[in-house]
Amino acid sequence: MEDRLMVSVSGVRGTIGKTLTAQVAMEFGCAFGTMLGAGKTVSIARDTRPSGAMIRSAVAAGLTACGVNVVDLGVVTTPGAALMTRTLGCDGGVIITASHNPTPYNGIKFLQPSGVGLTAGQAQRLKETWESKQFNLQDSLHTGGESQNTDTHETHLSAVCAIVDPAAIKARGFKVVLDSINGAGCVGSPMLMERLGCELVHLNHEPTGLFAHEPEPIEPNLTELGRAVRDAGASVGFAQDPDADRLVIVDEQGRFIGEEYTLALAAAYVLRHRKGKLAANLSTSRMIDDIAAAAGVEVVRAPTGEANVVEAMQRERCIFGGEGNGGVIDPRVVSVRDSFTGMAMILQYLAETKQPLSELVAAIPSYHLLKIKFPCPAGAAGTVAGKTKLAFADRAGATFNESDGLRIDLADRWVSVRASNTEPIMRIFAEAPSQSDAEALVQEVRTIAKEVIG
C-alpha cells in the first residue's frame, strides 16, 4: 500500500517515523496557531497510542511557538475532548488520534471552538498554511503557555447521564461486556457503567495503546467479545475504537449485529421520545430512512465525514444524527460521534422496552450492506467514479449524487465509490435486499476500478 500523509477534512494521518514525524506535527501546530492568532487558547488531548505523547508535545510546541496557550486534557476520549473544547471556551482544539487505523498510524484532528471538526474550507486553509511554512512565530516574551485540566471524564459523564434515565437503567441491573481495545475509553467507560448500575465485564481495559486485536470494530476483530457475552450471560456487548467515538454492538446471544445497527437502534430510541429531522452520511444504511419514515420524519444526507454530518444537522436543525460506522451524534451532549452516548441510549432502550436486543434488531427492516476497501493511488478515485457513472447512466431510475465520490441510487438498492479521507484506499459500499444483489453491485464497480488502477 502506498504510504503517504493524509491531509483532509478529517485531519492529518500518517505512519509514525515515516510520513508523520515530530517535525511534521510541530509544523501543523504552527499552522493551526498561525490560523488562530497569538493570544488564543487551544485544548489538546490524545488517545493511548504510544506515539501520542511525542506527537502531542510536538503539536503543543508549534502552537506555543506561535503565541497560542495550550490546555492539556491528557488521555481522554475524542468526544470528551470535543466537549471540553466547547465547555472551556477555547478558540480551537486538537486531538492526537488515528481513530480505528492500525498501530503504525497516528493522527492530528483539529477542532472548531464548538468541538466540531474543521469545515472543508478551514481544513484547506490549514493545509495551505502548512505547505507555505509561513508561520506567525513569536518572540521570547510572547510565546504561549501550558496548563492542565482533569475535568473531562466528569463533565462528559454528567452530560450523557442528563439525556437518559439512570434510575430506570439501574433498575434493570444489566450485565454488560465491553471491549475498550486498550484505548481512550478504558477510564471513562467503567465510570459510566457504574453510574448506570451495570455489572461490567471489561475486556482490554488497560489504557496502554497496545491493541489486543486489530483496532477497527468490525466482525472479524470482535470474536472474543461475542464469546465473552455468551459466557457471561450478558444483555449486550459493546466495542469501542481507540478514541472511543465509535460504538459497535453484539447482542445477548453473542452475535455481531453490524456497525450500521448502532445508529439505527439509537435513532429508534430517540424517535420514541422526540420528533424531528435526522442526519446521516451518504454511506449509511437505508435502515435509518425506514425508521424515520415510520415516525414521519426526514433524513438529511451529507457527504462522509463527521464535520459534514454535523454541518447538515446544524443547517437543517436535526435533533439527532451520525454515521453508519457506529457513530452516534446527539448535540445535547456534544456534536461529534460519541460511544458513551450510544451505550447509554441502547441501555435506556433495553430498559424501556424490556425486550432482548435481538428482538429490537429483528424489528428493524434489514438489508444486505457490503463494504470493501483496497489500495488506491492518489488522484485515481475521480477517474473510477467517472467511469462508474457512465456505466450506470442508462439504468432505469438511476440517480447520482457526486457530493462525496459517487453514490448511485436505484429503485431498491444503492452503490457508492469514494476515496477515504484517512487512509490511502478506496471504498465501495453497496446495499440491496439480498446478499447476491449487493455482491453483484460491488463486483460491477470493482471491475471498473481494476481497469483504472489494476
**Which residue numbers are catalytic?**
99
For residue 19, CA distances in Å to 11, 22, 23, 242 come to 14, 10, 10, 21
**Counts for the chain of helices (H) and strands (E), in that order:** 15, 20
Instruction: Give kind and range of the element (H or E) at residue 340.
Output: helix 339-353
- Contact criterion met (CB below 8 Å) for 69 and 36: no
How many CA atoms, within 13 angstroms, populate the side-chain half-sphere of residue 225? 32
The helix/strand/coil state of 226 is helix
**Contact between residue 272 and residue 320 where contact means Cβ atoms under 8 Å apart:** no
Cell, residue 266: 439509537
State the cell numbers at 74.
491528557
CA 277 to chain centre: 20
**CB contact at 8 A, 115 and 93:** yes
Beta strands, E only, 26-68: 41-46
The C-alpha cell at 428 is 465501495
Phi and psi at 221, nearest 5°, equal: -95, 0
End-to-end CA distance of the chain: 13
Closest Cα partner for 85 from 134, 16, 135, 32? 32
Q: How far, in Å, CA of 357 to CA of 349, rounded?
A: 9
Distances, alpha carbon 395 to alpha carbons 89, 370, 401, 405, 428, in Å? 51, 21, 15, 19, 19
> Contacts for 83-86 with beta carbons within 8 Å, 24 or more apart?
83/115, 83/152, 83/155, 83/156, 83/159, 83/333, 83/334, 84/43, 84/45, 84/115, 84/149, 84/151, 84/152, 84/155, 84/156, 85/43, 85/111, 85/113, 85/114, 85/115, 86/113, 86/114, 86/115, 86/334
Which of 249, 242, 245 minimizes the C-alpha distance to 218? Answer: 249
**Radius of gyration of the chain from its Cα atoms, rounded to whole angstroms:** 21
HSE (CB half, 13 Å, CA atoms) of 301? 13
d(CA 446, CA 250): 30
